[in-house]
Amino acid sequence: MRGLAAILVAGLIAVPAIANDKRANDKREIKELREAEEVLKMSVSAPDKGIPKELLQKAECIGVFPELKKAAFVVGGEYGRGVFTCRQKDGTMGPPAFFTIGSGSVGWQFGGEEADLVLLVMNDDGMKHLLKDKFAIGGEASAAAGPVGRTAGAGLDAQMHAQLLSWSRSRGVFLGASIEGSVIKPNKKAIARFYGKPLAAREILLGENVSVPSEAHSFVKLTSQYARRDS
């Protein structure tokens, strides 16, 4: 009887702990969305050095990875976390899917300890890579450091034909970044926590019977606003 009582007490203690862990994890994904939204706002509004809006309008998908740690890429054992949203048939951006990035090196212009990263998937070939279980930058998908400024007219031809364009923000400044060798893959645990069930990133990004959760409305609205194409 004493043994049974001990098990019951342990179970009662464990239930609140599990619930608290779940709430903390839920808040983590919501926090990532809020941080990604702020990074994107700053990337577009940066005076004379922001990401050209015309590239956002041409992009098929937008990815934001806030606060990547430089050490994570040096040791190769950790990774950064971020979120992607892709264009739907009606032109708006769809439900967000969580991803990780790591096992490579980022072109850190300032040598700081952390930086924000913005990725634009520019064409169908780039999107095909994003919809896989994982893909490597350089080995599978071509990427180039994105141009900065009010227009992309001064961009190199290689930039305009890359499957992905990338920028990093460190100390308040956005510059084109190299992410050669980095591996990007869906964060399945984060997706399952946020949506309440296991989902493939492909299902989410293509909007296959997946609606935008209320917690993601603000982020999706902002990306849709920036990526809106003139009719």
**Residue 150 lies in domain:** 30-227
The pLDDT value recorded for residue 153 is 54
Report if residue 223 sits inside a domain.
yes
The tally of domains found in the chain comes to 1
Report d(CA 81, CA 38) in Å as an integer.
15
Report d(CA 130, CA 205) in Å as an integer.
9
CB 80 within 8 A of CB 72: yes
Report if residue 157 sits inside a domain.
yes
Report if residue 17 sits inside a domain.
no
Report if residue 1 sits inside a domain.
no
**Which of 204, 174, 220 minimizes the C-alpha distance to 34?**
220
CB 52 within 8 A of CB 78: no
pLDDT digits (tens, 9 = 90+) for 50-85: 888 889 999 999 999 997 765 444 444 346 899 999
Report d(CA 103, CA 139) in Å as an integer.
13
Tallying the residues shown for the chain, one arrives at 231
pLDDT digits (tens, 9 = 90+) for 121-131: 999 999 999 99
CB 184 within 8 A of CB 99: yes
pTM for the whole structure: 0.80
